[in-house]
Structure 1
Amino acid sequence: MDSGSVVTPPYTAGPLTLEPFRALTLAPHRIGDPASARTFARPYREVPARLARWEAQRQLRREPEPAVYLHEYTAGGITVRGLVGLVDLTRRAGRLEERAIFPHEGIYPDQADDLAARLELMRINPAPILLVHRAEDDLRSLVQQVAAGRPAHRYRDRGGQQHRVWTVTDPGTLAALRSGLATARALIADGHHRYAAYLRLQQRDPGGPCDRGLAMLVDHGDTPLFLGAIHRVLSGSSLDDVETAARSLGLPVTVLAEQQAIAALAPRRLVATDTDRWMVLGLPDDDAAAVEVLHHRLVPALPHGPRRTTYHHSVTQALAHTGPDLGTAVLLPAPDVDHVLRIVAEDRLLPEKATSFQPKPSLGTFIRPWDDG
């Protein structure tokens, strides 16, 4: 795709809400099973009938009444807990201070349009978008009180994730949640294009089920997601090109051995290598994230290329695609959630694939049918 086609999705205005719905959940042995993804595959208009068959076969459970759900899942030694409900999409924010949901990267309009068309055919939200925020003390305490009670469901899925789910239906508790969320400002951790698709569908058909979209809201101060870096390989740009660009920008360059260079990776330092040579690049002493310095300053200053940029979630993966004849790897430090929150609060977006929030819940834990809340 042409990176020039990236646009900013509209912003949703507050107050942030999470409204009850009747969730569908696949049977535990189906959740996390790659074969289950075929349930949501083409032809998309047949998805409701497939889900109805699975429900009749007891391969899928429908909650008896609308609820907001507290969902806790554990994967890879990390436990994440968040509220699952329907966010109100009917209000658009005209000013920065009105915004309740903040994307931190742009979206491709064609991809959002394709997702919107798919959702319209399926008549479901197959999974929540993932939001993170820092809750006020009262809301955090309320969520912890809910989690101290007995869960309605507890299971281990096919992919190995452990799950606990509490259903919140008590009017008083729901009112307290609504009050606690009224001033919340949430960052999109995963699902930028689905969020944009939500907004497209709501704009096309206001007053219907698309006025709301399925979301999970995680309190980063309670059970934080792991936020990892996504490294780059610049094909067509040599390590000499990277050094020339860095020096032209006045960035300090230090040549080190491999292990020393990797160990030097830090919030204000990048590492560049062609696997034959390694160098550490110091970053300016300003509020720009490392990925912003790379894409907005260093890459435009390169004498040659890159012809193509690829993205890799581990150093090992990046180095496997790196070499004097393949491309130059730029290893990035892990972003900081509070730094990302500051950036979006200043009305800036990060370059694409700037963050990797993990772990994400397995597909099939929460499905929202449009005809049932």
Structure 2
Amino acid sequence: MDATTLVTPPYVAGPLRLEPFAALMLAPARVGNPTTGRAFARPYKDVSARLMRWKARGFVRADAEPALYLHEYTSAGMTVRGLVGALDVSRRAARPEDRAVLPHEGIHPAQADDLADRMEEMQLNPAPILLVHQGTVRLRTLLATVVTGEPDHAFTDRGGQQHRIWAIRDTELLTPISEELADSQALIADGHHRYAAYLRLQRRGAHETHEPRPATDFGLAMLVDQDATPLFLGPIHRTLSGTSLDDLRDAAETLGLEYTVHEQADAVHALSSVRLAATDGERWATVTLDVGQDEAAVEVLHRRIVPALAHGPASIAYHHTVEDALGGARPDAIAVLMPAPSVDLVLRVAAADRLLPEKATSFQPKPSLGVLIRSLRDESDAPS
């Protein structure tokens, strides 16, 4: 298989289950620290031992008892709250109606394999994947009760994120939370390749029949109620190298799309769910898209406009800010400013068993690395 080929990761079957686990937590001074990521770098087999040394020095805290964690974090004025637990990935969905987790982007198999190898060597899930869903009224009421209590941990990390964490261990709360999650469908907001890596690890451990169940039957996840404390869904802009603004105009005309020359301010102002803006650094234009029902602008760009370009693109670069995208604009490389799809649209695309093009969405803010970590070794060694 071509290394650039994107494939659909398998679907996990319901009921959606988030199980308690005993978290590792880096000390606040380590969370959000730019150097922390290097602690999870090569050689991966040494990472677990490194964390144990940090634990002895007080840099890592380890919960003695499993819990489901309610993690609230605030970044740049936005507050997000999600349940963090061990997502059951042991069952595959045979029918669309059985699916509990919905990916909306394809994955590179080699990248998922590499991530699975890293987690296996580290014996860790270093960070939760981000899932969003629409929680029930009862679930929101239950979690509101949790938030009224004092958090078990509250701190501001080195990156400026504020965190509050409640450990939920009371079965009188865990049982109804589990009941309310069972019928949920969750959309992957961030972590498609880590999700696919979880499934690969689960397959590798599927032959194990001992009790308790293998740690690889689960993967670390944060589930955010998009209706309660939503993540912001922003666009990801493109730079198409080897393509000119004239090529874009010709492709638009070939497809019967409206191509309009603008001044910069007017082009940016015209950006919408059915219109993209493009520039070569000097000239500006918009393309009005013929967007189908439940279709995103990014799908029209990649599946209709890009194939109709006379030249290129030789490569496509992705940018989270307009400034970064414009930095790559020149006569032979155009910056394409994209509108962000709505969360509802992404959900409809995923539920219809379609995938958006690569890097179509940017859910923000993400929690800092090191707040909640899951040890596979601790769970494997736990007594039955």
Shared fold (TM-score, shorter chain, > 0.5) = yes
Runs of at least 4 residues off by over 6 Å: none
Partner secondary structure for residue 330 of structure 2: coil
Please say if 1:203 is aligned against 2:203.
yes
Identify the residue that residue 296 of structure 1 maps to in structure 2.
Answer: 303
Which of 195, 213, 225 is the equivalent residue of 1:219? 225
Please say if 1:229 is aligned against 2:231.
no
1:266-314 superposed Cα distances (whole Å, 9 cap, x missing partner): 1111111112211111111422101000000100111111111111111
The answer to whether the 8 Å contact 1:17/1:178 transfers is: yes
CA shift at 1:2, angstroms? Answer: 6.1
Alignment partners' CA distance in 1, 2:33 and 2:282: 41
Give the stretch that moved more between structures: 248-257 or 314-323.
Answer: 248-257
Alignment partners' CA distance in 1, 2:181 and 2:87: 11
Alignment partners' CA distance in 1, 2:321 and 2:262: 20
The answer to whether the 8 Å contact 1:44/1:121 transfers is: yes
Which of 309, 316, 323 is the equivalent residue of 1:316? 323
CA shift at 1:138, angstroms? Answer: 1.2
Identify the residue that residue 9 of structure 1 maps to in structure 2.
Answer: 9
Please say if 1:77 is aligned against 2:83.
no
Alignment partners' CA distance in 2, 1:246 and 1:53: 59
Give the stretch that moved more between structures: 79-88 or 206-215.
Answer: 206-215
CA shift at 1:35, angstroms? Answer: 1.2
The answer to whether the 8 Å contact 1:21/1:372 transfers is: no
Structure 2 counterparts to residues 172-321 of structure 1, below 5 A: 172-206=172-206, 207=208, 208-286=214-292, 287-321=294-328
Identify the residue that residue 86 of structure 1 maps to in structure 2.
Answer: 86
Please say if 1:364 is aligned against 2:370.
yes
The answer to whether the 8 Å contact 1:7/1:108 transfers is: yes
The answer to whether the 8 Å contact 1:233/1:322 transfers is: yes
Partner secondary structure for residue 292 of structure 1: helix
Unmatched runs of 5 consecutive residues or more in structure 2: 209-213, 380-384
Identify the residue that residue 144 of structure 2 maps to in structure 1.
Answer: 144
Q: 1:51 to 1:203 in 2, by over 3 A?
A: same
The answer to whether the 8 Å contact 1:291/1:354 transfers is: yes
Please say if 1:31 is aligned against 2:38.
no
Partner secondary structure for residue 221 of structure 2: strand
Identify the residue that residue 382 of structure 2 maps to in structure 1.
Answer: none
Partner secondary structure for residue 316 of structure 2: strand
Alignment partners' CA distance in 1, 2:271 and 2:87: 38
CA shift at 1:74, angstroms? Answer: 0.4
Identify the residue that residue 124 of structure 2 maps to in structure 1.
Answer: 124
How large is the RMSD of aligned CA atoms in angstroms?
A: 1.2
Partner secondary structure for residue 29 of structure 1: coil
Alignment partners' CA distance in 1, 2:113 and 2:163: 33
TM-score normalised by structure 1 residue count = 0.98
Alignment partners' CA distance in 1, 2:148 and 2:347: 29
1:166-206 superposed Cα distances (whole Å, 9 cap, x missing partner): 01000010001100101111111111111101000100112
Partner secondary structure for residue 250 of structure 1: coil
Unmatched runs of 5 consecutive residues or more in structure 1: none
The answer to whether the 8 Å contact 2:3/2:110 transfers is: no
Give the stretch that moved more between structures: 202-211 or 20-29.
Answer: 202-211
Letter in 2 for 1:279: A
Alignment partners' CA distance in 1, 2:282 and 2:370: 45
Alignment partners' CA distance in 2, 1:347 and 1:38: 37
Alignment partners' CA distance in 1, 2:168 and 2:139: 14
1:94-120 superposed Cα distances (whole Å, 9 cap, x missing partner): 111111101110000111111111111
The answer to whether the 8 Å contact 2:291/2:300 transfers is: no
Alignment partners' CA distance in 1, 2:254 and 2:370: 50
